[in-house]
Amino acid sequence: MKLILEKGAEGRHVSLLGNSQVPAVQLRAAKRAKAPALPQVSETEISRHYSALARRCHGVNDGFYPLGSCTMKYNPAINEEVAALEGFTGVHPLQPAYTVQGSLEALALMEKKLCAITGMDAFTFQPAAGAHGEFTGLLLIKAYHQARGEAAQRTKIIVPDSAHGTNPASATMAGYTVVNIPSAPDGCVDLEALRAAVGPDTAGLMLTNPNTVGLFDKNILEITRIVHEAGGLAYYDGANLNAVMGIVRPGDMGFDVIHLNLHKTFSTPHGGGGPGAGPVGCKQLLAQFLPGGRPVLQQSGSYDLEADQASIGSVRAFHGNFLVVMKALCYVMMLGRQGIPEAARNAVLNANYMRVKLQDLYQMAYPGTCMHEFVMSLQPLKDQCGVSAMDIAKGLLDHGIHPPTMYFPLIVHEALMVEPTETETKETLDEAVEVLRGLYEKALQDPEYLHACPHNTPIGRPDEVKAARHPLLRWTREENA
Ligand SMILES: *Cc1c(COP(=O)(O)O)cnc(C)c1O
């Protein structure tokens, strides 16, 4: 087959599948003398192989998955059906706008909905994940200071120590110097430390809210005021919007720019389950800098793609992970004005229900009501009998429960961070509470048993660093002999 496009982006002829542009090394490979040594198996065998592998994995469909900060909520099947509609899957991103009006209208509709939920004025859907959104948002902040002739002077981004770990990483990638400020004993930003940190070199502040210890910062209006008075902009890490959506809006709290994780809050798969989407929203003062190619309704009544002269350019091809955005749009429309705040309330209720049922045994890292997640410190148990947060997490595996997030945030020793999400029933929460309480008591009686957990999973305690650095991803005859 030979497929030639008439004209590429720069007016050149582009050959997608013609011979002319196939690299020589691959042409040589195509003419190799011997067939590659692939395993010879029947369809039955390969089907059983992958089914067996799938059974060894744990997903939200298998059991409770309270992985804090990751919002492992159930993803409704209807989302998948909507994203699979032929009108969405059968289009090409280079088609002229007038032939894809429905897709552009759907994107514009989602932009409108997210603006209403967050209090922002415009969104880009290009970023493919939360951290990618952070990077994009920081480029908007940089473009703003550049346009005002202050970019050379404003070189610092302030990041509280209760921020998600990607915040300082993204600020560094965007060329900023990160200024860390501590939390006060109540888990909120230390306002004195913030006042001392801002100045004429402040480009902005990134706030994760609710923060990584599961708390809504009670001084949030004061925080954005301090940053604005110093001439900086306020960035809201909205990956945790699950706790507040439909109830309060970052735009009303003084934030200028935000990213959302559609693959958390808006029920699209993540982890091994699918690509993410980290749309970035901003106030009008930053809208001109957004990546180009956003669908805008014309006077004629149809949509066209527009880019502003001041745009920072593209951060990813076309409209990002378009089908993920369609899944999230389905979710938002299905829940509607009443369902969205109800989901947030239930997420907060579920977390607090578990917290209260555990707090006489497990030490909570911070007192009082939490938002969508809570953090426990296993340090007292470790001091008492040597059983660590890791041991308890491994013990949960034996009961078909995915471990909570471990050893994060770094400001809590022996941390376990539990996020039940709103999609779990009271029965599931009660069962998890019983398992967690049972493991605590078992640890006190028989620490060795906990050190040896898990007892009944296919893999016990892999060397996670080695698995990440030196993954075995290829089938080879020798290794499988
Ligand atoms: C998950 C998360 C991120 C990063 O999102 P990715 O899609 O994993 O890049 C950033 N901030 C917070 C608060 C998060 O929970």
* φ/ψ of residue 382, rounded to 5: -65, -40
Question: What does the pLDDT read at residue 273?
Answer: 66
Amino acid 58 reads H
Q: Is 369 exposed, middle or buried (0-12, 13-18, 19+ CB in 10 A)?
A: middle
Ligand 1 centre to CA of 169 (Å) is 12
pTM of the model: 0.89
Residue with tokens 């999609």: 423
Bond preceding residue 250 cis, omega within 30 of 0: no
Give the pocket of ligand 1 (CB within 6 Å).
Answer: 69, 129-131, 164, 166, 208, 237, 239-240, 261, 276, 278
* pLDDT, tens only, 5-15: 444 444 444 44
Distance CA 116, CA 145 (A): 27
Residue 263 Cα to ligand 1 midpoint, Å, equals 9
pLDDT digits (tens, 9 = 90+) for 243-260: 999 999 999 999 999 999
- Tell me which of 126, 138, 166, 259 to substitute to probe ligand 1's pocket, judged by most ligand atoms within 8 Å of the beta carbon: 166
Query: 12 CB contacts (<8 Å, ≥6 apart)?
Result: none
Tokens of 266: 């808006």
How far apart (Å, rounded) are the C-alpha atoms in residues 146 and 434? 56
Could you identify the atom of ligand 1 that is nearest to the CA of residue 69?
15
Q: What is the arithmetic mean of pLDDT over 422-449? A: 98
Report the pLDDT value the prediction gives residue 30, as an integer from 0 to 100: 63
Quick one: how far is CA 335 from the chain centroid?
21
User: pLDDT for 24-53, tens place per residue?
Assistant: 776 666 666 777 778 889 999 999 999 998
Of ligand 1's listed atoms, the one at least distance from the Cα of 129 is 7
DSSP 354-384: HHHHHTTTSEESS-S--SS-EEEE-HHHHHH
Atom of ligand 1 nearest to the CA of 263: 7
Q: Could you read off the pLDDT of 88-138 as tens digits, one per residue?
A: 999 999 999 999 999 999 999 999 999 999 999 999 999 999 999 999 999
Q: What is the pLDDT of residue 306?
A: 83
Query: Measured in angstroms, how far is the CA atom of residue 466 from the centroid of ligand 1?
Result: 24
The Cα-based distances of 380 to 173, 350, 361, 376 in angstroms read 38, 25, 10, 10
Q: What is the pLDDT of residues 159-204, one digit of tens each?
A: 999 999 999 999 999 999 999 999 999 989 999 999 999 999 999 9
